[in-house]
Amino acid sequence: MKTIYLLLLLTVLLKAQIDTQIKIDDLRFKEGLESRYLSQTSQVLNSLLAGGFRGLATDLLWIRADEYSHRGQWYKLLPIFKMVTFLQPNFVTAWSVGGWHIAFNLYFHGRTEEEKKKWLNEALRFLKEGIQSNPNRYELYFELGWTYFHKLKDYRNTIRYLKRAIRFPHPQFVEHLLAHAYENNGQFKEALKIWKNLQTISSREKDLEPIVNRAVKRNEQKIENSVKMH
């Protein structure tokens, strides 16, 4: 019976936390306020969740996040992602999906340019916090690099984080994006080096081979043109 009562208490506290945090975050971005409510409440919940309730709480919150996502209720997602990543800091998917929702969905629905900027900064901060908890995985370095590439056209920071991503086991598309970032940043020799390395791999993947070959020729031409200009 004690376990049941604790579980019911946990559910009530989580619901109250989520509902309150939603209101706080809405005011925060309307009025430019900063809130420390989540971290304060997390200290209390941490003691309650010291046992075997963390996994259950995470599952319940993740289901709620999926429901909000399918309903397009983007503003309700941020406090859930914050709580999930607090409960399970090594749950990389929560950091990745949360950062994406903030940088793209919440950004898109921002009512002013100032609010959009705040959402984007929040996404960058959220992903960087995730990296601190998961420094030896490629995923969040890639997500952060992709956000800099796509949303900010900041190729220097894109390169910075993707170079960290490729230190760890990673899929080929990470190097594709790194090569594009080098190219867009005017670093054609660095881009060419990556594309040539990818030629060996792409020769075994016929769909990618023409794309990589075109990229090699394009960067060779850009390097040649650059030499002629000087």
Mean pLDDT of the chain: 81
Q: Quick check: is 125 in a domain?
A: yes
Kindly state whether residues 17 and 59 are assigned to the same domain: yes
| Domain finish residue from 36, 56, 87 | 87
Contacts by 221-228 with C-beta closer than 8 Å and gap 24+?
A: 222/183, 222/188, 223/188, 223/189, 223/192, 226/188
Q: Quick check: is 159 in a domain?
A: no
Kindly state whether residues 182 and 139 are assigned to the same domain: no
Q: Which helix or strand (DSSP H or E) is residue 228 part of?
A: helix 209-229
Q: Quick check: is 152 in a domain?
A: no
Residues 174/165, Cβ–Cβ less than 8 Å: yes
pLDDT tens digits for 53-87?
A: 667 777 777 888 788 877 877 777 888 888 889 88
Kindly state whether residues 1 and 83 are assigned to the same domain: yes
DSSP secondary structure code for residue 207 in this structure: T
Residues 216/196, Cβ–Cβ less than 8 Å: yes
- Winning range, highest mean pLDDT, from 9-23, 69-83, 176-190, 193-207: 176-190
Tokens of 26: 């809405």
Question: Which of 169, 121, 128 is CA-nearest to residue 145?
Answer: 128
Q: Quick check: is 100 in a domain?
A: yes
Kindly state whether residues 53 and 4 are assigned to the same domain: yes
Q: Quick check: is 121 in a domain?
A: yes
Q: Quick check: is 220 in a domain?
A: yes
Q: Domain limits at 220?
A: 171-230
Kindly state whether residues 183 and 215 are assigned to the same domain: yes
Tally the domains of the chain.
Answer: 3
CA distance 22 to 14: 12
